Amino acid sequence: MSDKRDFLSDSDRTDDLSEDLSTGASNVGRDLDRGAGNLANDADDTVDDLEDDLDDLDDDADDAVDDLEDDADDAADSVNNTADDVADRADDAADDVKDGSKNLWEKIKDKADDIGDGIKKLLIKRNFLI
């Protein structure tokens, strides 16, 4: 059985080969262009994803710092409130001691007056005082 190319001239075979090479080169070029485009798109997507991830990480870090600052402020407020409570209790205790000492002094004075009055009555009763 004979092949159709057996009847082609060398010039026709060269033209066919040239056309096949041209078509093959065109297909390879198209595939390379498409592959390069896909690779570029994938690279762009990857860069975008990384930028988004970095933005998220930055936001998370900022949030963590804000949370730590809030926690530190809350702790400082708590310490200040406790110190204020202790100071108020100390002031109240000092006032109680002061009031207690005034009351004690008043009681001592009253008792001294009572003793003095009792001595006067006794002296009057015994006619030592007129």
Question: What pLDDT score does 96 carry?
Answer: 85
Q: pLDDT tens across 17-57, in order?
A: 778 777 877 888 888 888 888 888 989 899 999 999 999 99
Computed over every residue of the chain, the mean pLDDT equals 85
Specify the pLDDT at position 120.
85
What phi-psi label fits residue 9: left (phi over 0), alpha (psi between -120 and 50 degrees) or beta? beta
**Better pLDDT: 118 or 68:** 68
Q: Alpha helices, DSSP H only, in the chain?
A: 10-125
Distance CA 66, CA 73 (A): 10
- Cβ atoms of residues 123 and 129 within 8 Å: yes
* Distance from C-alpha of 66 to C-alpha of 59, rounded to nearest angstrom: 10
